[in-house]
A and B are shown apart, each in its own frame.
Chain A
Amino acid sequence: EVQLLESGGGLVQPGGSLRLSCAASGFTLRNYAMNWVRQAPGKGLEWVSVLSGGGDTTSYADSVKGRFSLSSDNSKNTLFLQMNSLRADDTAIYYCARGRIVGAAFWLDPWGQGTLVTVSS
């Protein structure tokens, strides 16, 4: 069964750092474009970042560019999101999602259960 399991969320002070993990099972992570999407409390979905299949390209939303960075450990089939200089508006549930790309079509499936990041003093 294809599954994603996030971990690493928690409470952090403004300006602090946190590293999220997304463990994949049932498929090989490096063969897909892996994404992070976040959802602030009571708000909609916001795409955060993507690591291309093969792991050679990353892309970030303007709101996190320069502060967040993606990496992966292929031996552990795990994706990481390093979050630095955290701000209150980074407070959200962070979801890991596998991207599928077919020509001009792109969709996210499956999604993990999410991990909550709270930035507060």
Chain B
Amino acid sequence: SVLTQPPSVSAAPGQRVTISCSGSSSNIGNNYVSWYQQLPGTAPKLLMYENNKRPSGIPDRFSGSKSGTSAALGITGLQTGDEADYYCGTWDSSLSVTVFGGGTQLTVL
């Protein structure tokens, strides 16, 4: 994948976890990042847009940030219902396509 994410992260209920997304100047470095949550057996859902904006209905336990060519998704107060695959995405100005990270599987132990 053009964007690099850790394959998996895990933490206990109530804890905090951060999922990283690394890219380059042609994508994250010069464009905004969005994040998507895919619960098991369902379609992806928008979780974060413009780096750190939450759509209506997304709790403030979820936060986003970007610095240089990397972005991160933070989740606090982990719940078992947060177990899902998380994907970062952005526009790549050199490739002129939308690019995604390989996805990170979150396990809440």
Instruction: Tell me the complex Cα distance, A91–B98, Å.
Output: 20
Q: Which residue of A lies closest to B49 (CB)?
A: A107
| Interface: A100 (CB within 8 A) | yes
Q: Which residues of B contact A108 (CB under 8 A)?
A: 34, 36, 44, 46, 89, 98
Instruction: Tell me the complex Cα distance, A100–B45, Å.
Output: 14
Q: Is the CB of B1 within 8 A of A107?
A: no
Mostly, the B contact residues are strand
How many residues from B make CB contacts under 8 Å with A?
27
Q: Which residue of B lies closest to A95 (CB)?
A: B43
Q: Is the CB of A59 within 8 A of B91?
A: no
Cross-chain pair count, CB within 8 angstroms: 73
Instruction: Tell me the complex Cα distance, A108–B1, Å.
Output: 18
Q: Is the CB of B100 within 8 A of A46?
A: yes
Q: Is the CB of A107 within 8 A of B31?
A: no
Stretch of A22-30, A82-90, A110-118 on the interface side: A110-118
Q: Smallest distance from the beta carbon of B58 to chain A beta carbons, Å?
A: 11
Answer whether A114 and B43 are a contact pair too, CB < 8 Å, given A45-B100, A45-B103: yes
Q: Is the CB of B49 within 8 A of A105?
A: yes
Instruction: Tell me the complex Cα distance, A4–B1, Å.
Output: 27
